[in-house]
Amino acid sequence: MREPRSTPAKWTPAKWTGAGAALSNLMLDFFRLNSLILTAGDRLVAPLGLTSARWQVLGAIVAAERPQPVAWLARNLGANRQNVQRIVNDLADDDLLAFEANPHHRRAQLVVLTDKGRRAFEAAMRLQVPWVNGLSDGLAVKDIEAVGRVVAALRQKLESEQD
């Protein structure tokens, strides 16, 4: 594990506070981590005919309390609706998803997993469990939870700015 930087990149347009510099460094690490996670996820589920993006959409559908339209799934994922729509269409073409009539909106159909989609998601999760357990080896649960709290607080601040 590399040592954290004490200051952000050499170019400094303004003076960061201590917390601002630390957060800027953390964000850069998050960008790198996100790329690595997506690449690892793609490799993990490729034998199932999935990608990280497809797996993520399947997971959002599984996590929802009831069938939802694409716009709601995109909102829950913090993703662009058009990108989620494209992935949903691809998953439907592969018979992993289906559409149902939405009693509240004629044009915004509800997205549901097919049996094949549920089996694909469950297979992906069977691969994910040993992978994530190995990845977490040597990390303290309290440290992981602390990072989770910081991420949740930052997400909440950014979401409230969008309102």
For residue 32, give both structure tokens. Answer: 């790198």
> 37 in a domain, yes or no?
yes
d(Cα 34, Cα 13) in Å, to the nearest integer? Answer: 26
**Residue 5: predicted pLDDT:** 59
Where are any strands of DSSP class E within the chain? 68-69, 97-100, 110-113
> 13 in a domain, yes or no?
no
> 6 in a domain, yes or no?
no
Residues whose CB is less than 8 angstroms from the CB of residue 34 and which lie 6 or more positions away in sequence, other chains included: none
Residue 75 to residues 3, 29, 57, 135, 148: CA-CA distances in angstroms? 35, 24, 11, 28, 20
> 128 in a domain, yes or no?
yes
Q: Average pLDDT of each block of 10 consecutive residues along the chain (163 residues)?
A: 57 79 92 96 97 96 94 93 96 96 87 97 98 97 97 93 81
How many domains are contained in the chain?
Answer: 1
